[in-house]
Amino acid sequence: MLMGEKVVTTLCRTVEEPESTVVFCDNFFTSFNLVQLLEVTTGIKCLGTVRSNRMSGAENHLKSDKQLSKEGRGAFDYCRSGGIVAVKWCDKKCVTLLSNACGVEPFGEVTRYSKEAGRKIPVSCPAIIKAYNEHMGGIDLSDMLVHLYKTQMKSRRWYLPLFGYKLDVSVSNAWLLYKRDCCVLQEKPMPLKRFRTTVARTLEGIHKTPARALEQTINREGKSQGGVVGFTLRKGALTRWLMTRHVTTAYVDAMKDLCNTDAKSPKAHQEHGTSRMDRDERDIQKIIEAVEQKQNPFDLDSVPEELINIASGQVASEKVAKELSSFLQDGAKQNDIFIEQRLAKSKRTKSFWETDKRKQCATFKDMKASFGVSISRKAHMDSDVLFRRLLAVSKQREVSLETVMSHELAAVPPSLFYDDGSMRKTTKADLAKKLEAVAEEMSSEESSVVYPPQSYDLATPELRLT
C-alpha cells in the first residue's frame, strides 16, 4: 500500500456516515486500489485525479494525450471496470480522473479563456469534471482560512505547533458550519475574525482562572522563549496571540495527561531543591557561628561601650567613635544650614544650585597606618611588595638573604596584625574554647587544691600545666 493510500484510509476511519460520504483527492493520493479499498472496507465513495501509473492498466483503454489534443478542448474518453469509471478529458492539457461516485453523464459546461477568440468561451465536460471542480480546493480553502489568523506557536517543543494548527483548523471548520447554518436560517454570518474573537471570549469566561493560580496553570504552560517579543511586534499578531494563548495551554495540559505526565502539580523552583536548601542551611549556620564568636549586633542586652567593627573586631579610636556616633546629629545640622542659606527668603546667602563641599567623616578606614612618599601621596605598607623589592635589591647588591629573612618583613608581626597595624581577629577561637572547657572542669571539681599558673605550648595544640 502506498503512503497516500494509507493516509486516506486511516483518516476515513473516523467518518460517522460513510455510506453518504464522498472523498475528493488529488493525484498524490488517488489510485485504482484506493477507490476499491475504500468502498469495500468502509463504503466511502472516492473521486479524484490520478496519475497514469496508478490506474492498474486502465490507461491502455483510453485515448492518448496526443489524440485528444488534436480533437480540441472538451474532447474526452472513458472506460469502466467493476463500478469504477476512468475519464480522460482535454482542457489546456489532458487530465485523468477515477471515480465510483460519479460518471460521464449528464454533460455540462465550464468557462475557459480562449486565446484565439480573445475572450472566455464555454467548454463541454463530463459530469465527473464538473463535480471535481465544484468540490476540489477544500484543503486550499482550509489552509487559506488557517493562515489568515494563524496561532503563533514558536517553540522548541515539536508538538505545540501541531496543537496550534489543530486549533486553527477546528475554529475554521466551526466557522464554515456556522455559515451553512446562517444560510439555512437566512441570516448574515459574521466574519471569521469576529467569529474567532467571540469564541475566545466565550472560552475565557468558561475557563476563567483566579489570578492566584495563573502562574501555576496558564502562565506556566503558555510561556515561550522571549515572550511575544520573540516572534513579532505587529498589532494583529499580538491580538491573535492574546486571543488563542489560553486555549493552546489547555491543549498542552491535555497532551501531558495523554503522555502520563503530571501536569497538575507545578514544577518546583530550583531554589526549592533539596541540595539548594541544604546549602542554604549550612550558610545560615556559618553566619550564626560567625556572629556568635564576634560581637552580636542584634543583642541589645550586651552592647559594649566601645564601637567595634563586626567584620574585623577592631575597636574604633576616640575620633572615629565620636564622629560615627554623631553622624545623625551632624546630618540634621547640615540640613538646617542648607535650608537657612538657600531656601529662607530673609537669610538666603547662597544659590540653591550652588555646589557644596562634602563633609568628611572619619571611619575605620582612616585608622589604617600610612606613610608619606616622594610623590606626595599616601600608601599602605604591603609585605608582598616589600619582599619583591628585597629580592630585586639582593640581585644588585651583596646582601645575605639568610640574614635578612631571619627578621620579620613588616613593622609588626603578620601573624598577629594586618599590614595597616590593626590586630587580626579570626573566626575560629580554638584557644578560647579550650580555656573555657578547662575552666568548667576546674569549677566542677570540689577540691581545694591550688593549681599553678597555666600556659599554652605553641608547639602542641594542647593546654598543659607548668
pLDDT tens per residue across span 321-358: 888 888 888 888 888 888 888 887 777 788 878 888 88
CB 325 within 8 A of CB 312: no
Cβ partners under 8 Å of residue 43, min gap 6: 18, 19
C-alpha cell at 80: 469502466
Q: Which residue, among 19, 3, 100, has the nearest Cα to 11 in the 3D structure? A: 3
**142 vs 176: CA distance, rounded Å:** 10
Q: Is the peptide bond before 191 cis (omega within 30 degrees of 0)?
A: no
pLDDT given at position 455: 46
pLDDT given at position 301: 73
Can you tell me whether residue 38 is helix, strand or coil? helix
pLDDT given at position 3: 83
C-alpha cell at 384: 608582598
pLDDT given at position 10: 87
pLDDT given at position 376: 45
Please state the pTM of the whole predicted model: 0.40
Q: Which residue, among 171, 233, 235, 163, has the nearest Cα to 199 in the 3D structure? A: 171
Low-confidence ranges of the chain (pLDDT < 70): 204-233, 260-270, 293-298, 300, 303, 311-313, 368-384, 408-412, 418-423, 425-432, 445-466
Terminal Cα-to-Cα distance of the chain (whole angstroms): 103
**227 vs 241: CA distance, rounded Å:** 10
pLDDT given at position 109: 85
pLDDT given at position 139: 78
pLDDT given at position 268: 55
pLDDT given at position 18: 84
pLDDT given at position 373: 46
